[in-house]
Amino acid sequence: MPPHAELLLRNARIVDGSGAPSRTGDVAVSGGKITAVGPKLSIPADAELELGGLALAPGFIDIHTHTDYIQLVEPRSLSKLFDGVTTEVSGNCGFSAFPLSEEARAREAARWEPQGVAVDWTDFAGYRRRQENFGTGINRAFFVGHGFLRGFVVGHANRAPTGPEMERMKAILAREIEAGAIGLSTGLIYPPGCFAERAEIAELCTVVAERGGLYASHIRGEGATLLEAIEEALWICRKSGARTQISHLKASRPQNWHKLDSAFAMIEAARAEGLPVLSDRYPYDATSTGLDQLLPEWAYDGGLEAELARLRDPAALARIRDEMARKYDDDYYGRVLIAWAQDHPELEGKYLTDLAARAGVDPATMAVEILLQTRGACECVFFVLSDENMKRVLAHDYVMVASDAEARATEGPASTGKPHPRAYGTFSRALGRLSRDEGLFTLEEAVRRVTSLPAGQLGFSDRGRIAPGFAADLVVFDPAAVRDHATYLDPHRYSAGFRHIMVNGRLVVRDGCVTDQLPGRILGLGHDPAADPARPRPTER
């Protein structure tokens, strides 16, 4: 028992992250660590916080996010903080803030330097220095995005890397992981990642596996080719030995919803084989990505300028429109909501079909016009998922809850657009609607999915649990009151029910109010293969 505590949290309902039943007790904190846990601790403390039976859990780990630049403008990550998140993992879906080619650096600088972010780095070491000098309200970890790695070495051409290019990609990936990145992510529907063959990804993942890192994949298809894409991800896992995460597991579009049963069977067979595979999912019935995902893959060849040139070229556009007509109908276009349109806020919060009707054109023409007006910088919400399937995915104990969103805020530069409400409400929705209201899983299991399960996947041996020696990342909430308020048309609304939030032993939210402290850290790998939670327990084999 420690002789003294900086802070003593009294009379908590301790939900420790393990999935075990909650219990009443006290928690002592000193030096950024949990120093004691037990009933009615008799430890002198500098301060005490009476919790009166409120739930006390480890800080939530959002293992799939896109907070790569906005935290250099708004470091507190308020939409995540008021959703219980104390650690974000960014660099997902093949997109990261490093390594930056000169073309990528110029593109990002044009967007972010007007907001005060000097994009003056090219690698993770420089990016990390920028982040640490600026400060962060919560902890952060980062993947190397394969799209940016490939763009840095190969460019945006639809071709395989040469032998020397492959070796250079592997060397850069190794350097970035050794500098503190946690692994590799792919976005195999996005350029230039979509141009990569599976053998290229597997070879890169051997570099990841050798360093104990994690491979997270936005797989090559989530609709008609869902099962083929899952097979590819499992093949890469088997070939490379890398711990693997299938990002935002889902079946997109109604005609594909039935494929989830086969997807579950494939993943569970791989886990029974011993492959270290987990997945994540957000608790919503709509996805969000760029409007240019409506275009055929060949339209991306050569990069953004080449893509825009094709949209202006009558012959190329006719071919694009023909392929779009065969793939999408009016029902599909009616499910597309504009979330953010660069320099055109008047489009945000409008459905593509409504904009088309107002302009007197068909939806495909409207989509092309918006892409040209915004130079491809348009994000949309796509209502193509099933709420019932979402719950079926999250019912599996190898699926973590994650937002797939960047941190936002209700005021200031992080409050633009009509982002997917998952940026504000992912974790409160899992705890409130899914656990408390619908009984999809117990409170203890809900907390495990957002604490010890992602911590183990990331190799964070001192986070994700309430136990002596663990980092004092802690959230205090009222299980009866926690709920999300963000909606698709009114997304900038914080969740309710979180009373106190602590990051590395410092209160960043007290009595529901942000303290403006920035105690977050950059977290790197700490993986112990012998304690890998992604590998099935012996009883699951």
The per-residue pLDDT for 531 is: 39
Contact 355, 371 (CB under 8 A): no
Segments forming the whole domain that contains residue 326: 291-381
The residue whose two tokens read 């990390």 is 128
The verdict on residue 505 lying in a domain is no
Write down which residue in 357, 381, 405 finishes a domain.
381
Crossing angle between the packed helical segments 146-153 and 198-210, to the nearest 10 degrees: 110
Contact 492, 415 (CB under 8 A): yes
CA distances from 24 to 13, 52, 407, 448, 502 (A): 5, 10, 33, 18, 19
Two tokens, residue 271: 């886990």
Nearest to 181 by CA among 135, 150, 152, 145: 145
- Whether 180 and 296 map to the same domain: the answer is no
CA 111 to the chain's CA centroid: 21
Nearest to 458 by CA among 89, 68, 17: 89
Tally the domains of the chain.
2
- Whether 419 and 472 map to the same domain: the answer is yes
Task: In whole angstroms, give the CA distance from residue 69 to residue 72.
Answer: 6
The per-residue pLDDT for 3 is: 87
| Runs of H (alpha helix) within 252-313 | 260-273, 304-312
CA distances from 349 to 7, 16, 187, 420 (A): 45, 40, 26, 11
Task: In whole angstroms, give the CA distance from residue 207 to residue 187.
Answer: 18
The verdict on residue 12 lying in a domain is no
The per-residue pLDDT for 2 is: 82
- Whether 83 and 127 map to the same domain: the answer is yes
- Whether 437 and 371 map to the same domain: the answer is no
The per-residue pLDDT for 37 is: 98
Three-state secondary structure call for residue 108: helix
- Whether 261 and 278 map to the same domain: the answer is yes
DSSP β-ladder status, 33-38 and 5-14: unpaired
Three-state secondary structure call for residue 53: coil
- Whether 430 and 304 map to the same domain: the answer is no
Two tokens, residue 131: 């982040």
Contacts of 108 (CB under 8 A, 6+ apart): 69, 97, 100, 119
- Whether 394 and 427 map to the same domain: the answer is yes
Two tokens, residue 167: 């070796």
Contact 413, 113 (CB under 8 A): no
Contacts of 296 (CB under 8 A, 6+ apart): 320, 323, 324
Q: Which residues pair with 281 in a beta bridge?
A: 401
The residue whose two tokens read 């003294």 is 4
One digit per residue, the tens of pLDDT, for the chain of length 541 reads 788 999 999 999 999 999 999 999 999 999 999 999 999 999 999 999 999 999 999 999 999 999 999 999 999 999 999 999 999 999 999 999 999 999 999 999 999 999 999 999 999 999 999 999 999 999 999 999 999 999 999 999 999 999 999 999 999 999 999 999 999 999 999 999 999 999 999 999 999 999 999 999 999 999 999 999 999 999 999 999 999 999 999 999 999 999 999 999 999 999 999 999 999 999 999 999 999 999 999 999 999 999 999 999 999 999 999 999 999 999 999 999 999 999 999 999 999 999 999 999 999 999 999 999 999 999 999 999 999 999 999 999 999 999 999 999 999 999 999 999 999 999 999 999 999 999 999 999 999 999 999 999 999 999 999 999 999 999 999 999 999 999 999 999 999 999 999 999 999 999 999 999 999 999 998 633 333 444 443 332 2
Nearest to 472 by CA among 30, 138, 150, 133: 30
Two tokens, residue 498: 């979180």
DSSP β-ladder status, 5-14 and 45-50: parallel
Two tokens, residue 266: 């494939």
The per-residue pLDDT for 158 is: 97
Two tokens, residue 199: 């053998």
- Whether 245 and 300 map to the same domain: the answer is no
Two tokens, residue 504: 């590395």
Write down which residue in 481, 503, 533 finishes a domain.
481
Task: In whole angstroms, give the CA distance from residue 399 to residue 84.
Answer: 19
The verdict on residue 397 lying in a domain is yes
Q: CA-CA-CA-CA torsion for 216, 217, 222, 225, nearest 10 degrees?
A: -140
DSSP 422: H
The verdict on residue 411 lying in a domain is yes
- Whether 66 and 137 map to the same domain: the answer is yes
Contact 87, 139 (CB under 8 A): yes
The residue whose two tokens read 């019912």 is 395
Task: In whole angstroms, give the CA distance from residue 93 to residue 91.
Answer: 7
Helix (H) or strand (E) holding 135: none
CATH of the domain at 461: 3.20.20.140
- Whether 193 and 177 map to the same domain: the answer is yes
